[in-house]
Structure 1
Amino acid sequence: MELPLPLSIVLIVSGLWSLIVWPPFLRRVFKDPRSRDLHGAATRFLKVHFMLVSTSMILGAATLVIGFRTLAA
Structure 2
Amino acid sequence: MTVFAAIVLFVAAVFNVVTWPRFFQRVAKDARARDAAGKPTTFYSVHLVLLLIAFAIALAAVVAGVLLLLA
Q: TM-score, normalised by structure 2?
A: 0.90
1:1-73 maps to which residues of 2 (within 5 A)? Answer: 4-73=2-71
Structure 1 segments, 4+ long, off by >2 Å, are none
| Distance in 2 of aligned mates of 1:4 and 1:65 | 14
Instruction: Report the Cα offset of residue 50 of structure 1.
Output: 0.6
Consecutive unaligned residues of structure 1, counting only runs of 5 or more, are none
Give yes or no for contact 1:19–1:61 (8 Å, CA) kept in 2: no
| Distance in 2 of aligned mates of 1:50 and 1:34 | 13
| Distance in 2 of aligned mates of 1:11 and 1:44 | 31
Percent same amino acid among aligned pairs? 35
Consecutive unaligned residues of structure 2, counting only runs of 5 or more, are none
Instruction: Report the Cα offset of residue 10 of structure 1.
Output: 0.6
Count of matched residue pairs: 71
| Distance in 1 of aligned mates of 2:15 and 2:8 | 10
